[in-house]
Amino acid sequence: MILYMHDLDLPLSSVLQYLAESGELQRKNTTKTIVQITFISRPMIFQLAFTTRYTECRQKSRSATPWFGAYTELNRVVRVVIQRIMVAMNYDLAVIGAGIHGVTVARAAAERGYRVVVLEQFSGPAQGTSSKSSKLIHGGLRYLESGQIRLVRECLNERRRLLRQQPDLVKLVPFHIPVYRHTRRKTWMIAIGLNLYRLLGGKDFKHIKRRDWHKLDGLKTDGLKRVFRYWDAQTDDLRLTARIIDEAGRAGAQIHYGAYFRGAECTPQRCKISFELDGVLQTVNTAAIVNASGPWVNIVLEKFSPAIASLDIELVQGTHIVVPGRLRRGIYYLEAPHDQRAVFVMPWQGSTMIGTTETTYQGDPALARPLESEIRYLLETRNHYFEKPVERNEVIKSFAGLRVLPASNSNPFSRSRETVLHRDRKLPNVLSIYGGKLTSHHHTMVRVMKKLGLRKPKTRHSHS
């Protein structure tokens, strides 16, 4: 007899130990047990095969039917295994969304011994905003303008940690700020900002000497007054997120891609989640939920019962383009001539990436696409500062991600980038992450774990 169990977070050590207990599987009528565990990508298929020497069963069975004893004993074994698997479907934490914040929370919880399940609607991690960022690990020099000093200090601390822990993925890169006669931010303002940045945890900055300006990748020098150089870091956001979720899986987290969240029925102690996987509606039980769905955060909250209050937000689209050309001197931090916003021109995989924009977005987050006006805005900004222009037909690719910002009538550029952790008093075991920065994903995880009371390692109990 073969029993197939699909999509289960099965603790292998516990099941193997249980199946090896001769007192359970080899007493009475069952004299031999064969266990086969086959991993067929994801989801896992656990194939439990039991064989029985029916001769002995026939001899010991009181039934007139010769196979009754074997059948009854095998049924008992299967029933016990099913009961154990049903217990295993009770999780300590469910994470909705496999972006950078969701996977970091999942990894931390799994490494502490908690049973974790991750539900991701796309076919892989970081398919939303987490792979459509500016690829920067930085303090956010421009946030000093809006007085977000705590955020800058936090991000600089996280940059230092990531440089130490992920040296192959996070690397320091020189950033250049050219100051022209027409630049709104004057030389003295930028010098003050860079000094404060250094005091908050950044590195020293310097002035590029005039005789070296010709080495700056074709940067225009007409009207150029000063070029500052400071240091921040760059990463591959997709690879970083993929690495973290891989570590979460190795720590025991169960990860489901293509899993569409359909709803959750919750009490303050427990939630029953319904999700669709491969066209089949499935359910899991969990003690806590982290809603890390990025721009889908309020769409997810609408599917909870009882209803959970959400925050007023605005989705702001950020578009990047990739164009030909190698930048050999680092990243250029430019002031867009149209609206004085910060725009980065960066080396990226043998080409040049330019971004980003800030355009209010309404509609399905999955349908966010670069606007033609955004592409031209980025090209105009880049061409304003470099000698050799790039034409529209030279754009290699473009992509757009969505930021979650507090609803406001103010300019998106000046709004807070602080990550907000929100939960309803009625359901303290459901926590939603609003906003968040790539750089500070670890700090956000620490706050989430603290709010949910998951900071300490879980004491594992055997299932009996």
DSSP, residue by residue, 68-92: HHHHHHHHHHHHHHHHHHHHHTEEE
Report the sign of the C-alpha dihedral through residues 238, 240, 246, 252, in that order. negative
Question: CATH class for domain 91-127+238-311+417-451?
Answer: alpha beta
> pLDDT tens, 4-21?
333 333 444 444 444 444
CA distance 95 to 79: 30
pLDDT of 52 > 60? The answer is: no
Asked if 230 contacts 190 with a C-beta cutoff of 8 angstroms, the reply is no
Question: CATH class for domain 173-186+194-232+314-412?
Answer: alpha beta
Report the sign of the C-alpha dihedral through residues 270, 275, 277, 279, in that order. positive
CA distance 174 to 229: 6
221 three-class SS? coil
Q: Report the DSSP pairing between strands 254-257 and 116-120.
A: parallel
Which value, in Å, is the radius of gyration of the alpha carbons in the chain?
A: 28
For the whole model, what pTM was predicted? Answer: 0.81
Q: Could you give the count of Cα atoms lying within 13 Å of 438 in the half-sphere of its Cβ?
A: 26
Report the sign of the C-alpha dihedral through residues 277, 281, 283, 288, in that order. positive
Mean pLDDT, range 223-247, rounded to an integer: 98
More confident residue, 61 or 348: 348
* pLDDT tier, 81 (very low <50, low <70, confident <90, very high otherwise): low
Amino acid letter, 428: P
* pLDDT tier, 82 (very low <50, low <70, confident <90, very high otherwise): very low
Which residues have C-beta within 8 Å of that of residue 201, sequence separation ≥ 6? 139, 153, 156, 157, 159, 160
CA distance 310 to 415: 19
> pLDDT tens, 321-376?
999 999 999 999 999 999 999 999 999 999 999 999 999 999 999 999 999 999 99
